Amino acid sequence: MGRIIGIDYGRKRTGIAVTDPMKIIASRLDTLSSVTVIPFLKDYIAKNDVECIVVGYPKQLNNQGSESLKYINPFLQKLVKEFPDMKIEQMDERFTSKIAFQTMIDAGVKKKDRQDKGLVDGVSATIILQSYLDKISHF
């Protein structure tokens, strides 16, 4: 059984999360400079059994794509090109940064640590991936 990778892609930083082998729980894996995401994924996938990549897809409240799609869509195209046999899914990422920030507050993360945008991106990727797991478990 392969793992699922979750990605919160940004222009500067990208949060990466991964499931356990049984695909029950999503956990933060890393936050990277966005230019290093594809090489990181190549290395990770070469060493681990991965069956799917889930990318946060930004939408507005009216369900239309957000302005940030202009850099998300080229990233999705690169993923398809680099991993042609990999299942690549998109997951609505509305409010994930706010949910991540609130989750850190609820978990007692200190204010100084909550200002670490890399931590927020990693938690956002985890929320995107866990939302995807919740979605597919209802079928």
- How confident is the model at residue 4, as a pLDDT? 97
Contacts 24+ apart (CB under 8 A), 25-28: 25/130, 25/133, 26/126, 26/127, 26/129, 26/130, 26/133, 27/126, 28/122, 28/123, 28/125, 28/126
- How confident is the model at residue 119, as a pLDDT? 63
**Among 133, 124, 127, CA closest to 14:** 124
> How far is residue 64's CA from residue 68's CA, in Å, rounded to a whole number?
12
The domain 3-137 having CATH identifier 3.40.50.1100: the answer here is no
What is the per-residue pLDDT across 33-50, written as a single tens digit (0 to 9) for each? 999 999 999 999 999 999
In the chain, where the domains are located: 3-137
Confidence of residue 93 (pLDDT cuts 50, 70, 90): confident
pTM reported for the whole predicted model: 0.83
Confidence of residue 113 (pLDDT cuts 50, 70, 90): low
